[in-house]
Chain A
Amino acid sequence: MTERFDAIVVGAGPAGSAAAYVMAKAGLSVLMLERGEYPGAKNVQGAILYSDALERIIPEFRDEAPLERHIVEQRVWMLTDKSHIGFDYRSDEFNDAKPDRYSIIRAQFDRWFCTKVKQAGALVICDTVVRTLLKDEKGQVIGVKTDREGGDIFANVVILADGVNSTLARDAGFRKELDGDNTALVAKEMHFLRPEVIQNRFNIGEKEGVAFELVGTLTRGKIGMGFIYTNLESVSIGIGCMVGDFEKGGLTPYGLLDELKAHPSVKPLLAGSEMKEYSAHLIPEGGYKAIPKVYGNGWMVVGDSAGLVNSIHREGSNMAMTSGQLAAETVIALKKEGKSFTEQNLARYRSALDDSYIIKDLKKYQGMPGFLHGNRHVFTVYPELMSQAASTMLRVDGIDKKSKEKQVTKSFRQKRGLFGLVGDAIKFARAFR
């Protein structure tokens, strides 16, 4: 028997589930295929969930979804080998009835999202790998071929949500092989701690959480960033660098993570914990310039597969959900208008992306990956200088403050030179524009 659907979604992550949910809710016949044993079995993220994107799809998600802690405080730390200098922002406004971000555990969250997809009327089949896309003689995608016997399934449109390493999109020629300079590799561990210990240690209430972003000398001048997120009964900690930098040797993902855990500012946060889980994941960090073609005859690409990640603001899963929603809405509209799923008609999805915060934000930071690649000293020199400056100014040692200020200025100029400092500032500002 030939199976035929309005749409097939490949991959049950946030992008795929969002797309499948929105289409099923509108009454379309939808099949979502997932290679893992269950949705979330293979998915890795820090993980912070930004409420807005999900709220636009499932307004009542707070009552049902497995959420860990809502984030009331964000800390940004610049690490040198022995110190950190940081910036914290905490506000009671984050305790609002509708908090804007939560720590989550993806294995549980994705499973929940998928039950919503099923309830909306979509069919979900796990443990099934999509091998190739089926095309007709004109090159229109007409379905997928899975690894199961009799695995050809047909659909009017296929949405690829198969993640950062989308082999489907690559094999179909929709995009190039992953570029090591545009892709980060992050290693992550979950450390078990009693809730009271987490609350005391991080100075938070019962359901409150803290999110840390960490940069510094740890990555030895390579582009990289670490994070610490508090869950209900565990702390997630991770760090990553660009794959291209790992390839050059000298750094390993687990080595970086070990160093981070041993850092004098970080170690006490994890003291007495038991490691529960470890994982690693690729993140597409090429930004605007690395976005591949996201639609064609009978297909669209959403989420990580389309490289929709804002690495500066650590946003990804929200963009995944929004892009899934926009792709779904494109399908719904075209079906309603009785139009076919040609490249020309699916171009609407790209316009919708362009009009959304996704492309606007990625465009804003389009210079950032290039800036960082060309200016790796920002990961080493500035944390060192800032730390030295703080140390100099805070130490009470009989030297007058004016001399100290001179000393700090001198150290900055020595390290980077006046032109270097001004140049960094201009380039940085340009990258942000």
Chain B
Amino acid sequence: MHVVVCIKQVPDSAQIRVHPVTNTIMRQGVPTIINPYDLFALEEALRLKDQFGAKVTVLTMGPKMADQALRKALTFGADEAILLTDRAFAGSDTLATSYALSSAVAKIGQTDPIDIVFCGKQTIDGDTAQVGPGIATRLNLQQLTYVSKIVSIDKDARQIVVHRRAEGGVQVLKTAMPCLITMLEDTNHIRFGTMADAFRAARYTLTEWSATEAGVPDVTHCGLRGSPTVVKKVFAPTAKTVKATPIAGDTPESLSQTLIDTLFSAHPGLQEDLESRVASNSQGA
């Protein structure tokens, strides 16, 4: 079994600062991390390695410094790492990114056929959740988004059963492999790699692919040229100030009562709604 995990190196949003003068995001000096959502995808892939002996290849597109993210993925236990890096990719939106990545995935599959492609649900810097589905569509893979659990895999029948989060419930889906899975957050926890993995990662020579090496058929579909997205304006929303109303009371009980009364009077219908819910819950119990 061969699985490919697409990851992205993103600025650590916890440490991003807005420039106090220009109001732009200061990326310089901000530490980078693997997109946190991608770690759920990577861990799920590593579990398939534990269970089925799957080979795990991580793939990323980005500048040379993205090798840090790949090396980190190797430390967690991934087997191979490929960095897609080329000036032609600079400025890619999600359409161009999925184009480049799908070419690379196809190329990886030529030497070692792929059973599952994993992606995170979305990235924390773009938040579009479009790249995973884009790759699936371009490569004609079965598309399983927002997967919360891999229930079973039948290697011989090449079938997979997963739980997928949907509005109002969980879908149980069975489909054929190869497929693309975007993994939902909080579904697992990334492992702490072994010492052997850490050594392998430190010594590993990364494979770097240019657009040509990745077998990208048409470079004009990459980078800024291949990106129809237009950023019209970037701005920080102005803060709205709402005056706080102090609540008076001597005891916790009287304070809570005043708070509840204030809320109920400000939101008519809230009281009945809550009470009916409590009633139906107690009936259910």
Contact = CB atoms under 8 A, between A and B. Distances in A.
Interface string A256-277: 0000000000000000001010
Nearest to A197: B21
A149 B77 CA distance: 12
Contact of A149 (B21, B194, B199, B203): B194
Contacts of A274: 20
B27 to A, nearest CB: 14
B196 A125 contact: no
Contacts of B194: 148-150
B195 A153 contact: yes
A105 B28 CA distance: 13
B17 interface: yes
Interface of B: 17, 20-21, 29, 31, 75, 192-199, 202-203
A43 to B, nearest CB: 14
Contacts of A194: 21
A124 B193 contact: no
Nearest to B22: A194
Contact of B29 (A108, A125, A153): A108
Contact of A148 (B29, B192, B202): B192
Contacts of A125: 198-199, 202
Which 5 A-B residue pairings sit nearest by Cβ, starting from the closest? A148-B195, A149-B194, A151-B195, A150-B195, A274-B20
Question: Which bracket fits the contact residues of A?
Answer: 20 to 34
A71 B198 CA distance: 40
A145 to B, nearest CB: 10
A88 interface: no
Nearest to B19: A192
B195 A123 contact: no
Interface in A1-25: 1, 3
B31 A37 contact: yes
Given A125-B202, A127-B75, A194-B21, A150 B29 contact: no
Given A3-B195, A107-B29, A276-B17, 20 more contacts: A37-B31, A38-B31, A41-B31, A123-B202, A127-B75, A127-B198, A128-B195, A128-B198, A146-B195, A148-B193, A148-B194, A148-B195, A148-B198, A149-B194, A150-B195, A150-B196, A151-B195, A152-B195, A153-B195, A192-B20
Contacts of B196: 1, 150
A350 B75 CA distance: 37
A149 B195 contact: yes
28 contacts: A1-B196, A3-B199, A38-B31, A105-B29, A107-B29, A123-B199, A123-B203, A125-B198, A125-B199, A125-B202, A127-B198, A128-B195, A147-B192, A148-B192, A148-B193, A148-B194, A148-B195, A148-B197, A149-B192, A149-B195, A150-B195, A151-B195, A152-B195, A192-B17, A192-B20, A194-B21, A274-B20, A276-B17
